[in-house]
Structure 1
């Protein structure tokens, strides 16, 4: 197990073989680290890949072909050392394939490929999932990058703001049931934006993540106290999105998802879960999002 580093004139990007996790984006122009460095006092991870499930199943288990499978929040890919299968000065691809251990909790054969690519002031993250089994497979997948906030000296969390697409003046989100970690879709909240922005607050995540469904978020960024761009995450075409931080912690996660946690009380079959992705035999799923560094 090791780490892969790529560098250009602007950025130094580091990927850990454990989970193919993005553990550093160092901005040489401003001499600052963008990625949360995983202080376990708040949250030990940094930018895990969520596969084969985003979030929690209701009751901590799911039903497939009449059998119950126990599966942890966010799946298992983040806890495996992935094989590095392709390297270049500006990109690296990791691979995870199904095995006897994964089949105990997830009865499908698959190949997961994760590529990180450095391009100027931008980092692209690509997921590719292939069904290598002999029957359809069902999954959700997501990103979970955490970004340091505040990042400037002598500034506070509430000095920073979230920024969304220029044609948006409001967004709609649901909350998570704190006891089960599952979605509460029956009550929808409105986030009113001012100049496409929403000010961060220390108490914003006291009730867990904000969950945005319906492909609302095509891009989400963080802006500096002076209104300049800190970073922007581009994710057009992603049906779900989460924004989260541990309560009071000095970071914020911008999370593009394809599918999400169960709705509260869902006890149906996996393939019938709202938002599930399904692949036929030999079929491949591919998705890319990008982190663009501002300034």
Structure 2
């Protein structure tokens, strides 16, 4: 599915309702990672019904343990395009019996992409058609490639408008889960922090407590390149792979389990819940510099 306006051209696949191309017509730049499997085989997957890993790859729902996969099944599911317009497209994923073997809830997940000048709006809606409360986390995972093939991480900096310091936790590689009590400080210089390969030696940087509502990848001289605005998102991930020419800016509504979490899904910190007949809605925006 292709959409475009005078500034941007985007492509979205029905598989995963995944944004697969983000092209800046003004600069002639492809901003989205091309899914080269040498580094990472995806572009911008939708993370649902779980962001990251659950502890020991299981989740407890109404007393029953269910197996989970990292980032959930939506990214590997076939959505249906229910509206295809030049500047707006809507995709729908509905629960199936196969999905209920790992996630026993009825749901309807709508994802709407809308172009507005140099901004791509991404809206999630999770509708609950059942008689019970449903629980989930949901997140974004767009990977932004660098403007030139010869560029690497040290040619860019991160910018967090209005911030002078951030705190983040890391994945404990033995437990494959974070310890939120073990925090690291990111002291910013004029709202910025340098990108390096070493920054991602322990997988993603995880920022909680709604610290980040706007983040930018900027050229080394401070010129903005691409940013993500995500008002009211409690958690945020920043991730890359060693030597990979991209960085992911990831707003999350809920995140991976902490070390040792083995309670009911309803007791998970940051969990989203939708009552019978109700709808969860959230939006973030990708902003491209022109």
User: Shared fold by TM > 0.5?
Assistant: yes
In structure 1, the partner of 2:53 is: 56
How far has the Cα of 1:169 moved from its partner? Answer: 0.4
SS at 2:91 equivalent: strand
Mapped to 2, the partners of 1:141 and 1:197 lie a distance apart of: 27
Match of 1:276 in 2: 271
Distance in structure 2 (CA, Å) of the matches to 1:183 and 1:230: 30
Moved more, 174-183 or 203-212: 174-183
What SS class does the counterpart of residue 19 from structure 2 fall into? Answer: strand
1:226 Cα deviation after fit: 2.5
Deviation by residue 1:172-206 (Cα, 9 ceiling, x = unmatched): 10111213432211111110111111110011101
Shift, 1:81, TM fit: 1.2
CA distance in 2 between counterparts of 1:79 and 1:155 reads 31
Which of 8, 19, 25 is the matching residue for 1:22?
Answer: 19
| Correspondence 1:220 to 2:226 | no
| Off by >6 Å, runs of 4+ in structure 1 | none
Query: What is the CA distance between 1:156 and its match in structure 2?
Result: 3.2
Aligned match of 1:123: 120
Provide, for residues 46-84 of structure 1, a one-character-per-residue CA deviation record: whole Å limited to 9, x for no partner: 100000000101101011121110010100001111000
CA distance in 2, matches of 1:124, 1:142: 14
| Cα-to-partner distance string for 1:226-278 (whole Å, 9 max, x where unaligned) | 31110111001000000001122111000000000000011111110111111
Structure 1 match to 2:88? 91
CA RMSD of aligned residues (A): 1.0
Q: Name the counterpart of 2:148.
A: 152
In structure 2, runs of 5+ residues without a counterpart are none
- TM-score for the superposition, normalised by structure 1: 0.96
Equivalent-residue separation in structure 1 for 2:4 and 2:258 (angstroms): 41
How far apart in 2 are the matches of 1:98 and 1:6?
Answer: 27
Counterparts of 1:107-186 in structure 2 under 5 Å?
A: 107-149=104-146, 151-152=147-148, 154-165=150-161, 167-186=162-181
With normalisation by structure 2, the TM-score equals 0.98
User: Is the CA contact (8 Å cut-off) linking 1:55 and 1:181 kept in structure 2?
Assistant: no
Contact in 1 for aligned 2:32/2:142 (Cα 8 Å) = yes
Report the counterpart of residue 4 of structure 2 in structure 1.
Answer: 7
Decide which of 280, 284, 288 is 1:289's aligned counterpart.
284
Gaps of 5+ in 1: none
Match for residue 240 of structure 2 among 237, 245, 263: 245
Conserved 8 A contact 2:152-2:243: no
The whole-number CA distance in structure 2 between the counterparts of 1:236 and 1:84 is 27
Deviation, 1:154, is: 4.7
